[in-house]
Structure 1
Amino acid sequence: MTTPPLPLPDDAELLRLDHQICFSLHAASRAFGGVYRSALKDLSLTYPQYLAMMVLWEHGPQPVKAIGERLRLDFGTLSPLLKRLESAGLLRRERSAEDERSVTVRLTEEGEALRERALSVPRRIAEAAGMPLDDIITLRGLLERLTDNLDAAQHGRSR
């Protein structure tokens, strides 16, 4: 027996904060931020720095532009973040010999070694989420689909 779909609330009801998926995502993101702050404290990384390090651990040396695209960060946000990681001795930024406008980022030995210390972070976050792995995988898939749909809508493409 299938459950009939719920009727859509009227426009005034839809305007309520607790009906906004964007607010639910915002609240979840802030909650994740608190858990990540605790999990990353021993690594002396912020969450955005951790994301940049994960890109480099996974893909090796990358142009700044590629890191920004992967993380959905603009140059003005990414550049100071990378500068702080470089000051901490975790990476080096080098101008390309072929194109001086391009800067490649590569991990130092210390940055590579930090990966080992970070291995426990994903499990700590999953544990804090308190959800079965199947639910986490399903949710991630739904969020990826939502992101793709919103990107398409922003750029005038239908899905």
Structure 2
Amino acid sequence: MLQHMQAYHESRTWFEQALTVCDRVIGPQSLQAASLLFQLAQALALDNESKAALSKMRDCYNIFREELGPENSNTKEAETWLDQLTQNAVAIAKRDKIRAGIFPTRTLGNATSASTASRGLNGGQTSVKQDDRSLDELIGWIEGSSAQKKTTKKRPGRVAPKTRVGAGASK
């Protein structure tokens, strides 16, 4: 119900508490715990906690596989979710790696204060280099290389604009 109302964090908290009680009362390797792990993993995924969701779904899958066997529908559904969460985690890791390469850590302030600060940290060696490109070149780099500029396709057929019939004849 909380997920239906898009209260994902509250839903996640509720499932975490329910799992704690279940682990204490029934045991951490029970089918009930596996069902709660499955629901908690979904709540974590909706709450943008992909690593935690992957971990909980892996635990859920292992319990279902051990208790119900690999051919059970619950095990297969958990395996499908585990595959999807794994692919999602890989995509997020790639995105973060790309972002780290495209947007390296930047120093704030003017170039002299940045180079002075780096000289102090590196024992006199400067490691900060100011970019020599113009603003237009940087914008071109952000939007794509200048060699990849979009070319507009010419319309085939028309050479000159159409003239209206009778427009010049009324003089």
TM-score range relative to shorter protein: under 0.3
Query: Where is the strand percentage greater, Structure 1 or Structure 2?
Result: 1
Looking at both structures, which has the greater relative contact order when contacts are Cα pairs under 8 Å and sequence separation is at least 6? 1
TM-score (norm 1): 0.24
Task: Mark the structure with the bigger radius of gyration.
Answer: 2
